[in-house]
A and B are shown apart, each in its own frame.
Chain A
Amino acid sequence: MKNRQSISLLILLLLSIGISYGQEKNPWDRDVFFGEQHLHTQDSPDAFSMGVRNSQDDAYNFLKGKPIVKKGLGYEEEGVTVQKKTPYDWGATTDHALWLGLLPLTLDPDSPLAKTEVAKLISQGTPEALDKAFGYIMGYAQKGQSPPGMDDMSLQKSAWEKQKEITNKHYEPGKFTTLIAFEWTSIPQGQNLHRNVFFRDSEGPDEVFSQFDSDRPEDLWTYLEMQRKMGHDVFAIPHNGNVSNSMMYAPWTSNMGEITPGWAKRRQLNEVATEIIQTKGQSETHPALSPNDEFADFEMFKHLLGTGGQTGQVDNSYVRQGLIRGVGFQEAIGANPFKYGIVSGADAHTAFSDNEEFNYTGVHGVNDDSPARRLSGAAQTAGESAILFGTPGTTAVWADENTREGIFDGIKRKESYGTSGTFIRLRFFGGWDYTSDMLDDEDMIKQAYQKGVPMGGDLPAMSTTAKAPTFVVWALKDPESGNLDRVQIVKGWYAAGYGWEKVYDVAWSDDRKPASAKGEKIKIVSTDGVNVSTNYHTIPAGKLPPVGNTVDVKNATYTNTIGDSQLSAVWTDPDFDPSQHAVYYVRVIEIPTPRWSTYDAKELGIEIPEGIPASIQERAWSSPIWYTPTPDKIKKAVFYPGLYKRIH
């Protein structure tokens, strides 16, 4: 009798466990949420100096899809209302930690800054005086000092408290998520080492960490580790490797020391993702690093910031090379310092995350706030003409729910991807037992999760029956943008001490055939709306011909008569060697659509500036999936003392 009772109690207990477990969301029920993780407002001193007067409040309201009036000193478009066509699901403002929120205070006659030298310059109210004010504070910055008045710690603290309050005010769980965040802006000798810092909770840190505290990433990690100890879960996301002058993904530490397993693990823990594109260009790869990748030459931004046109070194500056280096380190020292998920950002300094190509409103205040200013090339930002900046990118996160926990944990899991600004939906899974017929199954996504890992994951140990890993990829176009041209898988691996890369087309539109072994000559007919021109182009062996181009430059239009709305594939690596460490990520390419400058030129009724492409192929990049051989698979242990000297 007693026994029976305890058994039924046990059953009840098991049932209740089962029920509570069942309430947790299954990974295959996750949804994708599009948002912004890099945005500046008037609270960033450089933005304020470019005349920007739109606030953090404006920034969040704009992300939510509300109409906002442009406000700026010296704006041609002062008072113009701007609004997103498709609102975002989440967002974070990331103003520079140094002097965050201080310059707007100079306009407040009651603030302690009102009587300072910088306030005197700013109160003159002309763009020239603002420039002078910025020059004045940067003069101090170069000496590692704050101008008089701006060194007031309690003032900095109260400005930061106000930012946190606004971020919390805009958080609507389930509808719109905000994250408490700031930017750590380390830029030794114009070499960009910037990282944004994100918090999971609503309390956030008491104090931000700026380049004045330290310009070494290792010290930022210490700050992050301390924050975690205090109960604030946090991670950092580096950006603009493309202008880091060989620093961002360098195979050495910030003081040129050797990378140890401990250092690699710290970096991996503290930096969960990296930005692949933003307004200052893409950081995926460079044509010099990837000469066989015909899509590498896209939204390039080569010059180092504020150096007067100095070209940065390409090596160690791009994400793809970093990812490949990372698996090399995994092989050499057993730890991967560059195990990054992928996100995109705006880095707009206007409070507007204007990712829509047809709805671009400028990213640097008075330098590019109107079509005329953007196309004239007169004003420069950080030494570059406005025409070379791109529209912001968009970050997509697969998450259980649209909450702080959902978005933060999704990025931390690396189940995120970046786009050049469109709302492409992308699925990517890796495993050993996927079959090509699963694409037709109703519960394909469930199977994909159950038999493998999503983007951002590590392939499980190789099964004894499998010969090579298989990947499931599925992409759906943005209903407001161009169709899809193709889906590619980029593979990087390490062999014989060197890194290697190969780009595979795995799905494409319009029944095209890859060129035969001899290569193929094709005729390309294009039109600018008036004249029709015919060119001949040779497609190298094995390559897929271009999808074509429907862009009518003069009218800034295109048609979705080419390309597909969705593309999918189950792809098995044909060149797999189980002894080699490897990394795989997906790149989805849209058909050509007009670049923002083409829309501006149409509005002004002028030609687009020379050397600027009329159309671009928007795209998405997934977070990678990694393969690490089990010790029995590695043929022999190889020691790479000079790893950092090798390039691929």
Chain B
Amino acid sequence: MNKIKSILKEPVFHFLLIGSLLFVTYQSFNNYLNRDKHVIVVNNDEIQMLEQSWEMRWNRPPTAQEREGMINGEVREKVLYRTAIEMGLDKQDRVTRRRLAQQVELLGAGMIQSPQPSEADLVKYYEDHKEEFRNPETVTITQIFFDPDKRGDATLDDANAALNSLNLQNDPNGNFSAIGDAFMLPKYFPNKTEMEIRRQFGTGFTKSVFELEAGKWHGPVLSGYGTHLVFVHNHEINELPDYTMVRDFLRDEWMAQKKTELEEQYIEGLMARYVVVIEN
């Protein structure tokens, strides 16, 4: 008790007491004077951030004028923002509400990390999704051209006659230089996609060729050029890439999908905290 009394008598204590009183009085007075004013601070870090983002975007530092413009823009934005909050726009305005909601979504997305998949996870993912890795359908064909401009009305008969002898010959890899007419495009087209065949032969021909049975001669098949006999060596539908070849890609895909799932769970967790009433 004595100790307290002696402190109360200390001049240093008086000095501090009077000082604090003066400070409090000044603060209140000052607040009173600035009662309608809020303080907007743009600090050094923020200015540096502005400068950096400018430089990243435009590959050079801003000029003094542009720097000033940016800072003024920042101040302006803060003022407008504070006003909006005072007006309660964050509570009423749909756009603001949606934007804030998105922010929470993004924050959630930033927090959530996908775990690493196990080998079994990846194998299962591959099994479930392998159709997506399938290469486009291709055909390997040999075609022999019969020029209607040279053969006229005999074109189809000539082609049919040649078809018979080709079937008898039964050698799709033979030499066909004595059959058909000179044609600028090659005879043999290995592993071509639908688009690749279409670019060379046009629409109608392509459609037929992809419907023809492999391992035999067909014809006459018509194109924008004339008449063809076509041997389909193979029609490749099933080229699935090996698991090991796509493993890295599978991992990225698996993790991306997992992350989406976890994000959805996070939002469901938030939903669970509310009772939802829909007054329909």
CB within 8 Å of B: which residues of A? 65, 86-87, 110-112, 115, 154-155, 157-158, 161, 423, 425, 427, 439-440, 442, 444, 474-480, 509, 560, 564-566, 568
Contacts and interface: CB of A to CB of B under 8 A. Distances in A.
A110 B57 contact: yes
Contact of B224 (A87, A439, A565): A565
A566 B59 contact: no
Interface stretch (B95-103, B162-170, B182-190): B182-190
Given A154-B59, A480-B224, 6 more contacts: A86-B199, A112-B62, A476-B225, A565-B149, A566-B147, A566-B225
A161 B58 CA distance: 11
A564 B149 contact: yes
Contacts of A444: 182
B156 to A, nearest CB: 15
B60 interface: yes
A430 B73 CA distance: 69
Contacts of B57: 110-111, 158
Interface in B168-226: 177, 182-185, 195, 198-203, 205, 223-226
Contact of B202 (A155, A439, A480): A480
Contacts of B226: 565
Contacts of A566: 147, 149, 183-184, 225
B66 interface: yes
Contacts of A425: 184-185
B203 A158 contact: no
Contacts of B60: 154
Contacts of B198: 86
B225 A112 contact: no
A112 B58 contact: yes
A479 B184 contact: no
Contact of B182 (A154, A440, A509, A564): A440
Given A154-B60, A476-B184, A477-B225, A565 B202 contact: no
Nearest to A427: B184
B241 interface: no
B69 interface: yes
A568 B182 contact: yes
B280 to A, nearest CB: 34
Contact of A155 (B58, B147, B203): B58
A1 B188 CA distance: 50
A65 B193 CA distance: 15
Contact of B184 (A111, A440, A474, A560): A474
Given A154-B59, A425-B184, A566-B147, A479 B223 contact: yes
A158 B224 contact: no
A425 B58 CA distance: 46
A480 B203 contact: yes
A112 B203 CA distance: 50
Contacts of B147: 565-566
Nearest to A157: B59
Nearest to A509: B149
B43 to A, nearest CB: 21
A509 B66 CA distance: 69
Q: Which 7 A-B pairs have the closest CB atoms?
A: A479-B202, A479-B224, A564-B149, A154-B60, A565-B225, A476-B184, A158-B59
A429 B60 CA distance: 54
B66 A477 contact: no
Contacts of B183: 476, 566
Nearest to A474: B184
A451 B147 CA distance: 27
Contacts of A442: 177
A245 B201 CA distance: 42
Interface in B37-72: 57-60, 62, 66, 69
19 contacts: A65-B195, A86-B199, A87-B199, A110-B57, A112-B58, A112-B62, A112-B66, A154-B58, A154-B60, A155-B58, A440-B182, A474-B184, A476-B183, A476-B225, A479-B223, A479-B225, A480-B224, A565-B149, A566-B147
Pick the most buried of B147, B182, B185: most chain A CB atoms within 10 A of its CB.
B182
Contacts of B59: 154, 157-158, 161
A350 B38 CA distance: 51
Contacts of A161: 59
A120 B123 CA distance: 57
A259 to B, nearest CB: 40
Contacts of B205: 479
Contacts of A111: 57-58
A476 B185 contact: yes
B202 to A, nearest CB: 3
A568 B184 CA distance: 10
A267 B183 CA distance: 39
Pick the most buried of A87, A509, A565: most chain B CB atoms within 10 A of its CB.
A565
Contacts of B62: 112
B182 A439 contact: yes
Nearest to A480: B202
Nearest to B223: A479
Contact of B58 (A86, A158, A440): A158
B68 to A, nearest CB: 12
Contacts of A115: 69
A425 B200 CA distance: 10
A565 B147 CA distance: 8
A62 to B, nearest CB: 15
A161 B201 CA distance: 39
A565 B146 CA distance: 11
B233 to A, nearest CB: 20
Contacts of B149: 509, 564-566
Contacts of B225: 476-477, 479, 565-566
B48 to A, nearest CB: 17
Nearest to A482: B224
B161 to A, nearest CB: 20
Nearest to A423: B199
Nearest to A86: B199
A444 B182 CA distance: 10
A560 B225 CA distance: 10
A87 B58 contact: no
B208 to A, nearest CB: 13
A477 B224 contact: yes
Interface string B66-102: 1001000000000000000000000000000000000
A560 B62 CA distance: 64
A248 B43 CA distance: 60
A560 B147 CA distance: 14
B253 to A, nearest CB: 21
A83 to B, nearest CB: 13
Contacts of A475: 184
Nearest to B225: A565
Nearest to A483: B149
A540 to B, nearest CB: 26
A29 B200 CA distance: 16
A411 to B, nearest CB: 20
Given A155-B58, A442-B177, A479 B182 contact: no
Contacts of B199: 86-87, 423
Contacts of B182: 439-440, 444, 568
